[in-house]
Structure 1
Amino acid sequence: MDTRGLSTHVRARLTAQPPVLYFVVALGAALRLYGLGAESFWIDEYSSLAYVTSRTTFEVAREVPLVDPHPPLYYLLLDIWTSLVGVSEPAVRLLSALFGIAAIPLLYALGAELYDRQVGVFAAGVLAFSRFHVSHSQNVRMYSLLVFATVCSMLFLVRLRTAPTRRAAVGYVAASVALLYTHAFGALVLVAQHCYVLGSRFVRTGGTWAVDPRRWLGVQLAVAVLAVPWAIDMGRQALALLTPGGGSGAVAWGWIPEPTPIRLVSAVGAYVTPSFEDGFGGFLVLVVIGLLALGSQRRVSLDRERTLLLACWIGIPVVALFVVSSLVVPLFIPRYTIAAMPAVALFVAKEIRRVGTVEIRYISVVLLVVALVAGLPGYYQTSQNTEWDDAAAVVTDGADGDDVVLVHRGYFAGLVAQYVHRDRPTVPVERVSVATPVESVRQTVRSHDGDVWLAMSSSTARNRTEIRAVLARSGRHVRTERAFDDVTVTHYVTNDTGGTQ
């Protein structure tokens, strides 16, 4: 096909799509690009950025899996991206936003192939307006890439089912390998696919397989071979996780709370809206839409095979992870289940499509739209991250080279230093030891004659009294104190009469 023929083909494909799809994609893009740099980095975003800015590309590929529980694909892409666009908040977050935007038409394509165009548009709309997906599309983490890779893998799986060509096989292998190298729990998506293919024989007419077994084994063998480096790292992480005391390869998971049924329900509901009890209201919306579809007198019959695919897609990344978290070690938090979100969007879309009564279908659509939109104003109008940039601005406006910035908790120190050193590269930023905060502050102030700027997160303020007492004994008193969202900056100046340390 020559260039003109290709252009004509692409134009024909684009014009053949329903106009409402372009409206959905445009609004979804606007939601993900709006306010992209309004928030300061939070600690996980800073960690992502620090991983790539402090290492070469080769070191990112080899070393990051040793210090982070996630595979390196996103970090490699972020390394390339930051070398092109820089490290400002909007520039760095744009990478995640682009993956988030691209997932919208991709989910439409999957819904159109699996069901029809109407289901595709509905599902794309759910993804486009989901506050949960919007927030992760504005985050310097791998979760928007995880959704994108998941939908890609599922789309090529469906094509292997309907038109098993070499292109579909290559696309499936590439997307599935990318999925595995994006997130540790991307493997759960492949487990869900295996469950679907194995179970398809029991729900398809004539007892046939959704995908020819030999072809399926072939593509899985290719995925397995390409995923060997990832499997080695993940095996090491799993052994460290299950070994008492961890070991040299252990990654800290102790911050994850114990799973509860309400956390499970809220995690799924948060895909739709987190505005009521962190997602419980969204779950109720899903239940109501399902009941409306079930109670419709003229509902469209249920397709068992496609329902099996969605059930496996939701059940393994969400329910299976919840069970493992309950029986082995807590691993269940909502963002770790985000790979199942497109399946929930497709489920809602096909349930609305299954409603035979037009009036009830309109009620379902209105209910869904209200639930999706309800969470967006609060997301854009309130601060989502600790205001480290504003806190650092207080320091940079008044500090000089003789001053020192103290940051309680070491993992916040690097984040504060990034903002302070943009304008005041000579001002030292020191960590206050969590284990021995008093001695840590005492040693730091002894070596600095200038002012002290103390930055403390509200979540780490239990040592505030002791630290202030040390600073008072060092001959310093409070000149100003500024409180921001979840962080307070206190400026200590030297007394004229001095003091004892």
Structure 2
Amino acid sequence: MAKKQGKRKKRDETETYDGGGNRNAGIPAPPPSQPSSSGTIISSVRSSRHLQVLVGLTIAGLLLRFYNLGANSLWLDEASTLMFARQSLAGIWESTAGGEFNPPLFYWLEHAILLLGESEFVLRFLPALLGVLTIPVVYFVGKEFKDQNVGLIAAALLAFSPFHIYYSQEARAYAPMLFFFSLALLFYVRANRSDEVRSWALFGLFSAVSFWMHFYAIVPIAVLILHALVTRAGAIRHDILSAKNTAIAVAVFAVASLPLLIVTASLFLARTSSAPTFGMQGLDVIYQTLFQVSGFNDLIMAAFIVLFLIGVAVMWRDDRNGAFFLIFMMSLPFVASLILSSRMPMIPRHLIFLLPVYFIGIASAYPALHALVRNKKAVYAVVAAAALISTPFLATYYTTPQKNDWRGFSAELGGMTGEGDLIVVLPPYMAQPLDYYYGNATDGTLELGANTGSDLEAIREQYPGRETFYVVTWDILAVDPTGDALNWLDKNAEFVGQRMGIYLFVSA
């Protein structure tokens, strides 16, 4: 992409394309990197159909991400967020340094949010807000990468993405990490075209912030740095100083991330010391990731993959460096994830950073599709289609529980237990979401935890004759892959019922 810097800059300043073509659909490109007053911004929105649609998409994205934000119960990971956020700022860092496999920045921000309360809505507010703000950022990434049409289509795909909406409504760091990584991606694309020190430095800074949000952000950051070195290899061989600005970005990232980088090394060794007991392995990582980011629909996934490949082909015709970038940024994270999946848990949400690249690749197919219909308003039809294909999923998303219903389960459990009864949670860490809704002090029960059949037998011997309620989720197989605890329950307890993925047994 860097080789076309001069020609690209001149074209951006002087040329426009007719409605739906490769560039700006008859709307002059704004001057690059000019600071704007609020009046100038309002004037720009009034004169630009693309910006008007972007504002509409952002508002739609806000409604979709804040609607029913507190409806679902907290699940395990969200309850863990609350547990860490309740600690002091120093205590949160000590938890990370002591073995928590998530960086502290999101917990620090949630710690501040807790001043507003501890409701589900409050805990999920920050991911929802940053999820909304990611929509215009992706627009500007697509605009910088190719043109306003690509930016608008990519923003629409993100605004109505079921995958992104889901994780924008979860009190975890995935949506916040994507927001800051998208900013890093924006400044990387700018830096790769302009080689400006400011853009390189901002790329390094926002890369560091995304890494402080989630450890797995290091994968796309490393891929971007590798891409910079590969595309500039020829220039670097002739003049080592041509790598100066890239080195500045790396230095900014390293300095801003240094404490976390030190901790990450030991955590990575601990995480990969044995085979994972949950998550996905091998090619299933690729399939499930593409399936989920495509809206949990095989037909849409197939269509998106075809459109992405068409987008790469169009970019190859117009800008081979751009096509190489799309291939590089989609393939290398998948390769890294395939390799790591045999040594650490791999889940599609860890690869949420692929969304802007994937959607920009799909949007890059627009010129080829526009050539078939030759309609100035085709881009708006594509934006409408992005909303339409997500409608069936979203219709059920807001009307059915998406997470284990610990709220409802706890209410039912409280109606069954009495003073002196035992409540045994398998595995023990599932007490986190349970205790958010259930208070055993109310009916005088005693809450314990167990991992294995031996643990369960020891509890029965310690409290003979006590009526015992066993709260179980399939997570027990992650800590007890042999199934010993489930075998013990099968022999010594009776199944009472279940609420979604939560099972209740009572002593026989």
| Match among 266, 269, 282 for residue 291 of structure 2 | 269
Distance 1:153 1:425, change over 3 A: farther
Tell whether 2:246 aligns with 1:216. Answer: yes
**Structure 1 residue aligned with 2:422:** 404
**Structure 2 residue aligned with 1:45:** 78
TM-score, normalised relative to structure 2: 0.79
**Structure 2 residue aligned with 1:171:** 202
Aligned residue for 1:113, secondary structure, equals helix
Tell me the distance in 2 between the aligned counterparts of 1:256 and 1:129. 26
Q: Once the 2 structures are TM-superposed, how far is the Cα of residue 235 of structure 1 from its aligned partner? A: 1.1
Distance 1:64 1:301, change over 3 A: same
1:376-415 alignment, distance < 5 Å: 376-397=394-415, 399=417, 401-415=419-433
1:183-194 alignment, distance < 5 Å: 183-194=214-225
Tell me the distance in 2 between the aligned counterparts of 1:199 and 1:61. 36
Q: Which amino acid aligns with 1:335?
A: R
**Structure 2 residue aligned with 1:26:** 59
Aligned residue for 2:325, secondary structure, equals helix
Distance 1:406 1:290, change over 3 A: closer
**Structure 1 residue aligned with 2:326:** 310
Tell whether 2:138 aligns with 1:115. Answer: no
User: Per-residue CA shift, 1:445-493, capped at 9, x if unaligned?
Assistant: 4496xx544323366597567448657xxxxxx8x94531122345779
1:142-181 alignment, distance < 5 Å: 142-163=173-194, 165=196, 167-181=198-212
Q: Contact 2:453 / 2:486 at 8 angstroms: preserved in 1?
A: no
**Structure 2 residue aligned with 1:340:** 354
Q: Once the 2 structures are TM-superposed, how far is the Cα of residue 428 of structure 1 from its aligned partner? A: 3.2
Tell me the distance in 2 between the aligned counterparts of 1:440 and 1:10. 68
Q: Contact 1:409 / 1:433 at 8 angstroms: preserved in 2?
A: yes
**Structure 2 residue aligned with 1:72:** 104
Tell me the distance in 1 between the aligned counterparts of 2:126 and 2:440. 22
**Structure 1 residue aligned with 2:94:** 62
Tell whether 2:162 aligns with 1:131. Answer: yes
1:319-334 alignment, distance < 5 Å: 319-325=335-341, 329-334=343-348
Distance 1:293 1:364, change over 3 A: farther
Q: Contact 1:151 / 1:342 at 8 angstroms: preserved in 2?
A: yes
Distance 1:391 1:8, change over 3 A: same
Q: Which amino acid aligns with 1:158?
A: V
| Match among 91, 97, 102 for residue 133 of structure 2 | 102
**Structure 2 residue aligned with 1:421:** 439
User: Per-residue CA shift, 1:261-298, capped at 9, x if unaligned?
Assistant: x441331232122133xxxx3431123325666899xx
Tell me the distance in 2 between the aligned counterparts of 1:374 and 1:208. 55
Tell me the distance in 2 between the aligned counterparts of 1:452 and 1:29. 45
Aligned residue for 1:181, secondary structure, equals helix
Distance 1:272 1:258, change over 3 A: closer
Tell me the distance in 2 between the aligned counterparts of 1:67 and 1:424. 34
**Structure 2 residue aligned with 1:233:** 263
Tell me the distance in 2 between the aligned counterparts of 1:359 and 1:444. 76
| Match among 463, 488, 500 for residue 485 of structure 1 | 500
Tell whether 2:452 aligns with 1:434. Answer: yes
Tell me the distance in 2 between the aligned counterparts of 1:269 and 1:453. 38
Q: Contact 1:131 / 1:273 at 8 angstroms: preserved in 2?
A: yes
The higher relative CO (CA closer than 8 Å, separation ≥ 6) is in 2
User: Per-residue CA shift, 1:123-156, capped at 9, x if unaligned?
Assistant: 0111111111111111121110121111010111
| Match among 277, 281, 295 for residue 254 of structure 1 | 277
Q: Contact 1:100 / 1:144 at 8 angstroms: preserved in 2?
A: yes
Distance 1:212 1:481, change over 3 A: same
5+ residue gaps, structure 1, are 247-251, 472-477, 494-501
Tell me the distance in 2 between the aligned counterparts of 1:460 and 1:163. 53
**Number of matched pairs:** 460
Tell me the distance in 2 between the aligned counterparts of 1:301 and 1:151. 26
Tell me the distance in 2 between the aligned counterparts of 1:368 and 1:202. 38
Q: Which amino acid aligns with 1:336?
A: H
**CA RMSD, aligned part only?**
3.5
Q: Once the 2 structures are TM-superposed, how far is the Cα of residue 161 of structure 1 from its aligned partner? A: 3.4
Distance 1:452 1:347, change over 3 A: same
Q: Contact 2:492 / 2:507 at 8 angstroms: preserved in 1?
A: no
Q: Contact 1:396 / 1:423 at 8 angstroms: preserved in 2?
A: no
Q: Once the 2 structures are TM-superposed, how far is the Cα of residue 371 of structure 1 from its aligned partner? A: 4.0
Q: Contact 1:107 / 1:151 at 8 angstroms: preserved in 2?
A: yes
Q: Once the 2 structures are TM-superposed, how far is the Cα of residue 107 of structure 1 from its aligned partner? A: 0.6
Q: Contact 2:316 / 2:322 at 8 angstroms: preserved in 1?
A: no
Tell me the distance in 1 between the aligned counterparts of 2:201 and 2:43. 25
User: Per-residue CA shift, 1:30-85, capped at 9, x if unaligned?
Assistant: 111122112111112222221222x2111102322422222221121122222x22
